[in-house]
Structure 1
């Protein structure tokens, strides 16, 4: 599974009809909005992809479509032990191209590809998951009340794990650029905002107040991550830097 994020611009005829000089005003015009569009193209070669619900724009090639499903016994055991609910999503298999719904200017996303080993289980904030290879087990994890109170994720998060003996790939989409960091035992990550967008199963997440009886240093409630594993983080989330 390979993918490419494309930025599509208007045709030459559009520029002509709107009386815009393409050479000098391609990216900005003082009075008219130039409708650039972002679209993800996924290329499959005898492979499969699971995409976010409602994300399909079109697909072309020798492809079959269905609903995500893996070995029932393995799936049911894993879902019952590690998650609360199975995850229902469209899957496309074969050879060809799958195109996701285009996004207009102002709604562009930053995409991050994460390789998942068989020892890892990733948990992602709501809306972060975009698509992944089909050799995975998907489920959802229910958030604690304090986690729900401190975020806009709702009640559930998506949990993803590679099939036994295989490596999988998942692609996330966020409004701000992200990167992967690693922490080890004894290390702690503390953030006063939604800094972490996803983490592996060796990480413990908590949303709690720093200090007691008003002696918290003025920070109030913060996100705290401890343990050992990898985190998907966004340092400039909320800064308006894109």
Structure 2
């Protein structure tokens, strides 16, 4: 499963009809909004992809349509009830191209691809999951009450685990660029904002106050990550840089 993120601009006729000089005002016009859209193309080669329900724009090729399900239908329903992963999430298999619904200018995302190793499990913020290969098991993890206070992600996270002897791939979308970093044993990550968007099993997350009764640097409540594993971090989200 490979994917490509395209930014599509209006046609030359649109520029002409709206009396806009394409050469000088391609990205900005002082009085008119130029409509750009962002669209994801997923290329399958004898493989499969799980997408959000309702995310399909079109597809073409030698493809078959299925419904995501595991050997535990109660778990599938529970995941659908507690996260943005819809019950009966669509799965496309075969060889061809799947296009997702385009996103209008102002709602573009930065996409990050993560390879999920055999027996590795990731937890992701619910609203950043976009699609993944079909060789995974999808679950849900409940956040502690203190964690829900410091985050706008709700009470649940999506958990993805590769099937035994399989290497899976997940693609996440964040409002600012994200990257994967390693946290080694004995190291700690402390952040004053919700910069970590996902992490592997072996990382312990906590939302706690630094110090008591005014002691501890005056930071108040912070996110703390300890253990050993990988994290998906978006360092610039709190800066307003987009």
Q: Which residue of 1 aligns with 2:125?
A: 125
For 2:146, what is the secondary structure of its paired residue? Answer: helix
Match of 1:157 in 2: 157
Aligned pairs for 1:186-201 within 5 A: 186-201=186-201
* Contact 2:79 2:138 (8 Å CA) reproduced: no
| Count of equivalent residues | 235
Residue 232 of structure 2 corresponds to which residue in structure 1? 232
Q: CA offsets per residue over residues 178-214 of structure 1, 9 Å max, x none?
A: 0110011110000000110000001000001011222
**Structure 1: runs of 5+ lacking an equivalent:** none
Runs of 4+ in 1 over 6 A off after TM superposition: none
Gaps of 5+ in 2: none
- Residue 95 of structure 1: CA displacement? 1.4
Q: TM-score, normalised by structure 2?
A: 0.93
Supply the RMSD in Å over aligned alpha carbons. 1.7
Aligned 1:74-89 pairs, distance under 5 A: 85=79, 88=87, 89=89
**Are the counterparts in 1 of residues 119 and 163 from structure 2 also a CA contact under 8 Å?**
no
Do 2:188 and 2:225's aligned partners in 1 also have CA atoms closer than 8 Å?
A: yes
Q: Deviations over 1:75-120 (max 9, x none)?
A: 98xx69xxx7476322111111111110111110000000000131
1:134-186 CA deviation, whole Å, 9 max, x = no partner? Answer: 00011111111111111011111100010001100000000000011001111
1:111 aligned residue? 111
2:12 corresponds to which residue?
Answer: 12
Where 1:22 maps in the other structure, the secondary structure is coil
Measured after TM superposition, the shift of residue 216 of structure 1 is 2.7
* C-alpha distance 202-31 of structure 1, shift in aligned 2 (>3 A): same
